[in-house]
Amino acid sequence: MAMAMLFLNPPPLSQCRSFSPSISNRHFSTRAISSPMKTSGAENWVSRFRSKSLSLVFSGALALGLSLSGVGFAEAKVGVNKPELLPKEFTTVIDVAGFLSNGQERRLAKEIDDLEKDTGFKLRVLAQNYPVTPGLAIKDFWQVDDSTIVFVADPTFGNILNFNVGATVDLDVPRSFWNRLAGKYGNMFYWKEKGEDASIEAAVMAISSCLREPVGPNNCAEIQ
């Protein structure tokens, strides 16, 4: 599944992609595409730079923002690993920030469960305010793999939407989708007016709609 990240035993960079906000773009990155094309020195630097930032998506949603428009720099934070903040029973929605009501959590969990049954893709949602986060502990708790999308809702840098997308998802979802999704529902004006919960719910429904579309040149072209 998607976007780049670094675990305790990091997988190859090609297996995951991290989409996190840049300061200039108020959020998000791009997926990497396997291609025989030559890369410039700047692109190689970006690739190396990206690999150093991946653990921050899990530790605090503070990864450097890699976007189509360039590279933005976010304040580096020390990685967090607090398994004690994880729920005792498995759930696909973890809210340690108190953004969601119990009813909202149940609705999102039901949507995510149906999505996984219908498509095989595993969406996981973590709502947090860094540094109050289980951090890297969610990797094992959720058994994150190539078919997993980790959605971290954290307003630390203004845009509340952060994503980590596995390699399998990355093949089906256009890179622009994550940027457009963050731009529409993650920007500060939206979640401050509507609420963090509204941003989270809207993003989950948009992701579900996108993943249910047939793969093709125009899939996920509209943010639902």
- Domain ranges in the chain are 13-212
Alpha helices per DSSP H over the chain: 41-51, 55-59, 102-119, 137-142, 167-172, 175-181, 188-194, 196-212
Those residues with Cβ within 8 angstroms of residue 87's Cβ, 6 or more apart along the chain or in another chain: 94
Query: 13-212, what's its fold?
Result: Diaminopimelate Epimerase; Chain A, domain 1 (3.10.310)
| Interval 111-131 mean pLDDT | 96
Q: Is the pTM of this model over 0.75?
A: no
Q: Is the pLDDT of residue 42 over 60?
A: no
Predicted pLDDT at 184:
96
Q: How far apart are CA 92 and CA 110, in angstroms?
A: 9
How many angstroms separate the CA atoms of 200 and 152, rounded? 9
What is the predicted pLDDT for the residue at 75? Answer: 37
* Least confident range of 12-16, 57-61, 73-77: 73-77
pLDDT at 214 over 70: yes
Q: What is the pLDDT at residue 72?
A: 29
- pLDDT band, very low/low/confident/very high, at 80 (cuts 50, 70, 90): confident
Region 150-167 average pLDDT: 93
Instruction: State mean pLDDT over 180-198.
Output: 96
pLDDT at 54 over 50: no
Tokens read off for 148:
């997993």
Average of pLDDT values for 166-182? 93
| pLDDT at residue 175 greater than cutoff 90 | no
105 confidence band (pLDDT: 50, 70, 90) = very high
pLDDT of 112 higher than 90 = yes
